[in-house]
Amino acid sequence: MEFSSKFLENAVYEVSQLPGIGKRTALRLVLHLLKQPERQTEELTTALTNLRTQISYCNNCHNISDTEICEICANPKRNKSIICIVEDIRDVMAIESTSQYQGLYHVLGGKISPMEGVGPQDLNISSLVQKLKAGGIEELIFALSSTMEGDTTNFYIYKQLEGIEIKTSTIARGISVGDELEYADEVTLGRSILNRVPFENSIKAN
């Protein structure tokens, strides 16, 4: 693509770095911004800058939050004796949208993936184990997607639980293998949480 302006070229390049956006789409978006009032670009820039500089994570569950303790963890109506392990905020949002779960979450921040160089130490696993050792938690629900990485992560965490008295369960796999949690419809996902099965059963099935 030949550009008549370096400024245009740079803007197109940066936008095209986003996933799913090719050079052509990037050019269309940039030209669209140029036609809009300057204020719109300023607001977009400010929102993105704030996203990177202001965002923080809940001290308890590691979910993205504007406060030290997120709204879910701070809510006195939530059942603090149940923790649901998820990969990221998208899973929290998906499960919350079902209105079928009243416990807390623990956001790992990813899945163990040797292919992508992600090991257990790169995830929020040690803080989870500490939390469980501290007591007061009765049930741990594994809700990672049923991919190989998800299963590996589940099993790794399960192994860390030796010596800790706790009930473990996994969401019922109405969701087919390989599907991401975020794509399951609300009814299916809600039902999976209600019909969760003991985690040991899911290991035997594999």
Interacting positions 112-171 with Zn ion (CB under 5 A): none
Q: Are residues 169 and 182 in contact, defined by beta-carbon separation less than 8 angstroms? A: no
DSSP lists the bridge partners of residue 84 as 105, 141
Q: Is residue 108 a contact point for Zn ion (CB under 5 A)? A: no
Distances (CA, A) of 149 to 19, 125, 133, 165: 21, 15, 25, 26
Interface with Zn ion, residue 86, by CB under 5 A: no
Question: In sequence order, what are the beta bridge partners of 103?
Answer: 79
- Whole-number minimum distance, CB 72 to Zn ion, in Å? 5
Q: Which pair of tokens denotes residue 142? A: 């594994």
83 binds Zn ion (CB under 5 A): no
- Nearest residue to 96 (alpha-carbon basis) of 86, 111, 81: 86
- With H, G, I as helix, E, B as strand and everything else as coil, classify residue 137: coil
**Closer to Zn ion by Cβ: residue 71 or 200:** 71
Q: Report the residue number, 42 or 66, with the smaller CB distance to Zn ion.
A: 66
Beta carbons within 8 Å of 135's beta carbon, 6+ residues apart: none
CB of 134 to Zn ion, least distance (A): 16
C-beta closer to Zn ion: residue 63 or 192: 63
Closest separation between CB of residue 89 and Zn ion, Å? 11
For 156, phi and psi rounded to 5 degrees? -60, -45
**Angstrom distances, CA of residue 135 to CA of 1, 72, 85, 108:** 60, 19, 17, 19
Nearer of residues 80 and 173 to Zn ion, judged by Cβ: 80
Residue span 40-69 as binding mask against Zn ion, x where in contact by CB under 5 A, dash where not: ------------------x-xx-x------
Decide: is 73 part of the binding site for Zn ion (CB under 5 A). yes
* DSSP E strands, the chain: 56-57, 64-65, 79-86, 103-107, 139-142, 167-170, 197-198
Size of the site for Zn ion (CB under 5 A): 6
State which residue, 27 or 92, has the beta carbon closest to Zn ion. Answer: 92
Work out how close the CB of 105 gets to Zn ion at its nearest, in angstroms, rounded to a whole number.
Answer: 7
According to the binding rule CB under 5 A, does residue 85 interact with Zn ion?
no
Q: Which residue, 43 or 96, is less far from Zn ion as judged by CB?
A: 96
Q: How far is the CB of 18 from Zn ion (least distance, A)?
A: 28
Binding site for Zn ion (CB under 5 A): 58, 60-61, 63, 70, 73
